[in-house]
Structure 1
């Protein structure tokens, strides 16, 4: 699987009931745990004071990431995504294996 840096901004449509927001957020938490258990969601952060998320996600390619991973999030219709494909850096201190 390839890794992707994904920035997610969620914008709740005006007029959406708090009940609907709460329902989707609850379902979102469940889905995030499922995606983590399958290896698709590796890490997730929220910048201090901001209403966006930054995460490392995994998929075979960007199409799979967008359609079969991010597209399954309950908040997806309210989200915008900035996807950056990643590759290992030769000086990454967390890198395993030999040098190349």
Structure 2
């Protein structure tokens, strides 16, 4: 299954800068690991006013599985997340190879 994850990370104003730097480094490593195993497919930034939202395309067996992966992120305690389950659309101009085979 594929999921669109929207996350906003907000650290408190008085958060220790050294701890922030270390957590962001750990976050980068965790993201690289999820990308390497195919769980994380893409990441984008979306600006909403003065906030930066991260959008991610994730793959997992279920919503519970993708939530478990996100819960492993070092910055998770400071994240607001929304999980959207993605389903194929009948008008998708780029169907998956499985769908293309089934229409032949």
- Aligned equivalents of 1:86, 1:20: Cα separation in 2: 35
Does 2:61 align with 1:60?
yes
Does 2:8 align with 1:15?
no
- Output the TM-score relative to the length of structure 2: 0.85
Shifted more, 43-52 versus 15-24: the winner is 43-52
1:82 alignment counterpart: 82
2:39 alignment counterpart: 40
SS at match of 1:36: helix
- CA apart distance, 1:55: 1.1
- Output the TM-score relative to the length of structure 1: 0.88
The alignment of Structure 1 onto Structure 2 pairs a total of residues equal to 98
Deviations 1:1-41 (A, max 9, x none): x1011100101023211101110111111110100111110
Which of the two has higher C-alpha Rg?
2
Provide structure 1 residue ranges, at least 5 long, that are not aligned to the other structure.
none
Provide structure 2 residue ranges, at least 5 long, that are not aligned to the other structure.
none
